[in-house]
């Protein structure tokens, strides 16, 4: 098969796979859409999920943790301004669809009742993207869990050179770092009835932050992403179109591809921010949710993940910094002068989750991220 025929073959295969999945009998028992929201899934919803693919190493009794590096994403955030405008456009188009259906005297029994009175919860808001109260709680609790998991690393009095907290110059990331620190050092100070303490959070300029905003600093990546976005949208179209047709048959409204995409985004926002799963999310079957989540994952894989080596090669400075901090901790331990630290780095980039055990030291490293 020639190279020029490959794209068509791949597309045909995806369409065939799509039809099998769309028309298969999905097991709805125990299905929780909140666990299938790609990077919008909440911390507390997915933190205890295990697919049995990870088997932790057995830790010898003589091993003691001496160093902790944590690289984490920001907490749950509100929609950005661009996304809020998208939901307002969806609201306007749904009104048109319902009005057209009434004028054409189409059967409306299948139309969900909530659609008739739905208004975007973010209508009229002019600022977005900020961390929510739920997101603050996620990072606060993560800080508490980190201290409980490694209590021996927190016996030393606080000093900013020992407990390093770094963040990007993005408000939701810096707010997440503060929430994490409040949980990490809760009860360790003399401020207020909860005995909080002050702590330092540092950051680099967004224009030159090659550790945490490397995707902003790499011009080659910007060019690559711009060139690949049309291809990604093309790959997603067959799935969106198939689900669009299923929605039209199911509810007898003339939904468009953009409506389908926007309704999926609304589902993710309602489920993660408002804990509502009976409106936009209920429009889709479990198999359709799985496919929509797959389109999100596909986009992340190509534009931000392992789909292109540039995506992770530009993160090498961060990896080098993590390794160097570990090596320094080992040297300090061997020199009988233990220096342990926490590099809490909030990045808006998809990385990976990894645990490593080696020789006489313990390293717990969380590398996570979210799309812009």
Query: What's the confidence (pLDDT) of residue 91?
Result: 97
**343 forms bridges with which residues in the sheet?**
69
Report yes or no on 345 lying in a domain.
yes
**175-179, 200-204, 271-275, 346-350: the lowest-pLDDT one:** 346-350
* Structural domain for 351, as ranges: 60-78+129-217+314-372
How far is Cα 31 from Cα 312, in angstroms, rounded to an integer? 33
pLDDT for residue 98 is more than 80: yes
Report yes or no on 266 lying in a domain.
no
Report yes or no on 197 lying in a domain.
yes
Query: What's the confidence (pLDDT) of residue 332?
Result: 76
Report yes or no on 178 lying in a domain.
yes
**Joined tokens for residue 266:** 């609304």
- E-assigned strands of 33-115? 64-72
Task: Pick the closest to residue 224 from 292, 313, 296, 295 (CA basis).
Answer: 313
**Joined tokens for residue 209:** 């932050």
Phi-psi region of 157 (alpha: psi -120 to 50; beta: other; left: phi over 0): beta
How far is Cα 209 from Cα 37, in angstroms, rounded to an integer? 29
pLDDT for residue 283 is more than 50: yes
Q: Are 72 and 251 in contact (CB under 8 A)?
A: no
Report yes or no on 117 lying in a domain.
no
- Please name the residues in contact with 122: beta carbons below 8 A apart, sequence gap of 6 or more: 78, 79, 84, 87, 88, 128
Residue 63 CA from chain centroid, whole number: 33
Report yes or no on 42 lying in a domain.
no
pLDDT for residue 217 is more than 70: yes
The per-residue pLDDT for range 229-279, each reduced to its tens digit, is 999 999 999 999 999 999 999 999 999 999 999 999 999 999 999 999 999
How far is Cα 92 from Cα 110, in angstroms, rounded to an integer? 20
> In angstroms, what is the C-alpha Rg of the chain?
24
- Please name the residues in contact with 252: beta carbons below 8 A apart, sequence gap of 6 or more: 101, 106, 107, 108, 110, 111
Task: Pick the closest to residue 353 from 370, 367, 342, 340 (CA basis).
Answer: 367
CATH at residue 162: 3.40.50.1240
Q: Are 143 and 183 in contact (CB under 8 A)?
A: yes
Number of domains in the chain: 1
- Please name the residues in contact with 224: beta carbons below 8 A apart, sequence gap of 6 or more: 308, 310
The pLDDT of 133-162, averaged and rounded, is: 89
Report yes or no on 54 lying in a domain.
no
Report yes or no on 268 lying in a domain.
no
How far is Cα 330 from Cα 360, in angstroms, rounded to an integer? 9
């Amino acid at each position: 098969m020639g190279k020029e025929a490959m794209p068509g073959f791949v597309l045909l295969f995806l369409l065939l796979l799509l039809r099998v999945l769309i028309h298969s009998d999905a097991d709805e028992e125990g299905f929780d859409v909140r666990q299938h929201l790609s990077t919008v899934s909440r911390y507390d919803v997915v933190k205890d999920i295990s697919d049995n693919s990870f088997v932790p190493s057995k830790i010898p009794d003589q091993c003691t943790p001496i160093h902790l590096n944590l690289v984490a994403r920001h907490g749950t955030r509100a929609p950005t301004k661009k996304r809020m405008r998208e939901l307002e456009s969806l609201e306007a188009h749904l009104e048109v669809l319902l009005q057209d259906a009434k004028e054409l005297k189409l059967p409306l029994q299948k139309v969900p009742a909530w659609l008739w009175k739905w208004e975007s919860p973010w209508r009229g808001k002019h600022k977005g993207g900020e961390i929510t109260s739920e997101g603050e709680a996620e990072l606060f609790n993560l800080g508490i869990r980190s201290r409980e998991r490694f209590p021996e690393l927190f016996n030393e009095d606080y000093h900013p050179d020992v407990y390093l907290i770094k963040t990007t110059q993005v408000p939701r990331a810096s707010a997440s770092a503060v929430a994490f620190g409040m949980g990490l050092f809760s009860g360790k100070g003399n401020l207020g009835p909860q005995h909080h303490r002050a702590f330092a959070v540092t950051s680099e300029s967004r224009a030159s932050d090659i550790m945490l905003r490397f995707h902003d600093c790499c011009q080659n990546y910007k060019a690559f992403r711009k060139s690949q976005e049309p291809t990604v949208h093309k790959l997603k179209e067959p799935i969106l179109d198939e689900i669009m047709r299923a929605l039209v048959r199911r509810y007898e409204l003339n939904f468009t591809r953009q409506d389908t995409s926007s309704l999926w985004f609304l589902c993710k926002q309602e489920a993660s921010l408002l804990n509502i799963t009976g409106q936009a999310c209920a429009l889709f079957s479990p198999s359709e949710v799985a496919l929509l989540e797959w389109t999100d994952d596909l986009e992340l894989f190509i534009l931000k993940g392992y789909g292109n080596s540039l995506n992770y090669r530009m993160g090498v400075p961060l990896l080098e910094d993590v390794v160097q901090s570990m090596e320094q901790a080992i040297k300090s331990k061997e020199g009988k002068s233990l220096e342990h630290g926490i590099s809490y780095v909030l990045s808006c980039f998809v990385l990976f989750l990894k645990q490593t055990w080696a020789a006489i030291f313990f390293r717990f490293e969380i590398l996570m991220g979210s799309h812009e």
